[in-house]
């Protein structure tokens, strides 16, 4: 791999639950592979109403149960992200459709779970309006998919 890092962006609706979790689990998986310095990883939301906010406390607690600290602050995706990032991974079809409508490159924009070949599910469910169990389930799903993605992109 050349000295230029591969740039990966994870996108959900508000950038406080799923996409920051994916960013942190993917970064952790890259570090386990010894490839952390070969990637630039970020996350964003299609909506901007949480801009500057910390990740959701319920998501942080669920990730902590899996040994990962979710850090960062929410930001809204920008059209310049479509040029900056080599891969843009959407957590669900609504965000995928929204990004394409904003002008995202369809060759670089993917649904996260299908890209890594994750089972029958094509979307990471949004746990925001649900209970604690939903957050734990989503964290495990993201952890497993992020590990598969790291292995795929590092191969």
> What 3 state SS string does the chain have?
CCCCCEEEEEEECCCCCHHHHHHHHHHHHHHHCCCHHHEEEEEEECCCCCCCCCCCHHHHHHHHHCCCCCCCCCCECCCCHHHHCCEEEECCHHHHHHHHHHCCCCCCEEEHHHHHCCCCCCCCCCCCCCCHHHHHHHHHHHHHHHHHHHHHHHC
pLDDT digits (tens, 9 = 90+) for 19-34: 999 999 999 999 999 9
The catalytic position among 17, 18, 56, 81 is 18
How many structural domains is the chain composed of?
1
Confidence of residue 2 (pLDDT cuts 50, 70, 90): low
Confidence of residue 128 (pLDDT cuts 50, 70, 90): very high
Tell whether the model's pLDDT for residue 129 goes beyond 60. yes
24 given a catalytic annotation = no
137 given a catalytic annotation = no
CATH number of the CATH domain containing 64: 3.40.50.2300
- The residue that leads in pLDDT, 120 or 35, is 35
- Residue 17, domain extent: 6-154
**Is residue 55 included in any domain, yes or no?**
yes
**Is residue 108 included in any domain, yes or no?**
yes
58 given a catalytic annotation = no
């Amino acid at each position: 791999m050349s000295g230029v890092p591969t740039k990966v962006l994870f996108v959900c609706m508000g950038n406080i639950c799923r996409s920051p979790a994916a960013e942190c689990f993917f970064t952790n998986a890259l570090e386990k592979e010894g490839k952390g310095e070969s990637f630039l990883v970020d996350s964003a939301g299609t909506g901007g109403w949480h801009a500057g906010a910390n990740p959701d406390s319920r998501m942080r607690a669920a990730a902590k149960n899996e040994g990962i600290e979710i850090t960062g602050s929410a930001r809204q995706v920008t059209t310049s992200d479509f040029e900056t990032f080599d891969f843009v991974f959407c957590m669900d079809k609504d965000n995928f459709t929204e990004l394409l409508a904003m002008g995202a490159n369809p060759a670089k924009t993917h649904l996260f779970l299908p890209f890594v070949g994750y089972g029958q599910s094509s979307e990471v469910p949004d746990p925001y309006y649900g209970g604690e169990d939903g957050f734990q389930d989503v964290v495990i799903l993201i952890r497993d998919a992020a590990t598969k993605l790291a292995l795929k992109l590092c191969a």
